[in-house]
Every structure is written in structure tokens, then in C-alpha cells.
Amino acid sequence: MKKRVLFVCVENSCRSQMAEGYARALGEGVLEAWSAGSRPSGKVNETAVALMKEDGVNIGLHKSKGLNELPAGTWDYVVTMGCGDACPALPARRRLDWALPDPKHLPPDGFREVRDDIKARVRKLAQESA
């Protein structure tokens, strides 16, 4: 059975979107991935879309969404991504906090570093969940 994982950041435009994209690509058959924001921006960051595409993952059709737009139930994992006090408590069997910088104002190489860090963490999560 797939593990339900939710990635949460503030705007649901960069970090959590990239994590959801990688979880769907790297965790296929293992992870059921979702993402949301505590204060969603309403759009996915264009640089995140471009740099994910550069790495072979298309998040261009993703939508920035709030926590109230998620399916009900308990998550196997809730992964917070640098949102601190803005991340609410959601029902989860396991909580992880990935303290990642918000890449939206970083130059492309810095943005790629955050992307690659997320990819490595998601890969490890998928392997542990298999």
C-alpha cells in the first residue's frame, strides 16, 4: 500500500511543489504525494517549473493550493519545508521538518541546489517507504 505524504511550505509555489513532483516521479508505486501551503500564493513559481523540467519532471500543470483543499484523513508523513510557525499541525503518523531555504529569490544555481537537496531527500523517503 502506498504511503500518503504531504509536503507543506508557506506559498505552495516552490519547495513543496518540487517535492510533490519528485515524490510522484521517484516514489511511483510507493508514495501518494500531495502538497499545500499555509498561505498559498495561487501559482506555481515559473523558475521551479523550468528547473524541474530541466531535470525531467513536469510540474507545469500543478496548482498552488491551501490546506483546506486536501483530502481528509491521516497522512503517513507530513513534511514541513521551512515554514516554521506558519505550518499547522495536521494528523500524521510521522512528521519531518526539512529546513530548506525558500529558493524564489535565489539565482538559478542556488535554486538548483535547493531542488537537488529536495530530490535527494525525496529519494531517501521513497526508499524508506518501499
CATH label of the domain that carries residue 49: 3.40.50.2300
- Give the pLDDT confidence of 41-92 residue by residue, as tens digits: 999 999 999 999 999 999 999 999 999 999 988 999 999 997 665 666 788 9
Containing structural domain, residue 59: 3-129
Q: Which of 5, 8, 9, 48 is catalytic?
A: 9
CB-CB contact of 82 with 15 (8 Å): yes
Q: Residue 30 pLDDT more than 80?
A: yes
Residue carrying the nine cell digits 523558475: 47
Share of the chain above pLDDT 70, in %: 95
Q: Which of 48, 87, 118, 126 is labelled catalytic? A: 87
Number of domains in the chain: 1
14 classed as catalytic: no
Segment 97-116, tens digit of pLDDT: 998 999 999 999 999 999 99
The pLDDT of residue 86: 60
Q: Out of 79, 81, 83, 122, which one is annotated catalytic?
A: 83
Q: What is the pTM of this model?
A: 0.95
